[in-house]
Amino acid sequence: MALEHLTKETFKEKVFNYETNTEWKFEGKVPAIIDFYADWCGPCKMVAPILEDLQTEYGDKLTIFKVNTDEQQELSSIFGIQSIPSMLFIPLEGQPQMSVGALPKNSLKSAIEDVLSIPAN
């Protein structure tokens, strides 16, 4: 399963419609991670293959989205993205949590287990 790149429109449909909801309401069916990145960002390039591996490993228990901060500036500003890579961990229930910086695979797996409540495979 390939990682899906979000636009403003697909973000509102699959993650959160910030134009109609004032409080957080996740639209997804499984927990998700949103990777805010840019093509020119070195640390983003280091994290990209790790996220692809994790998507393969967790399969349909997790969705990983990507948002190009250069192309989707409105989405970046909504979440106050000032440093990349930034990752938004979205559990099915409760508030999302932001992480900034290039996390190693073991840290990402810990966040998936702890924040998203997805057990390790």
Written as one letter, the residue type at 110 is S
Spatial separation of the C-alpha atoms in residues 21 and 48, rounded to whole Å: 31
Amino acid occupying residue 57: E
Are residues 39 and 66 in contact, defined by beta-carbon separation less than 8 angstroms? Answer: no
Among positive and negative, which fits the CA dihedral 73, 116, 20, 1? positive
CB 50 within 8 A of CB 113: no
Annotated catalytic sites, by residue? 41, 44
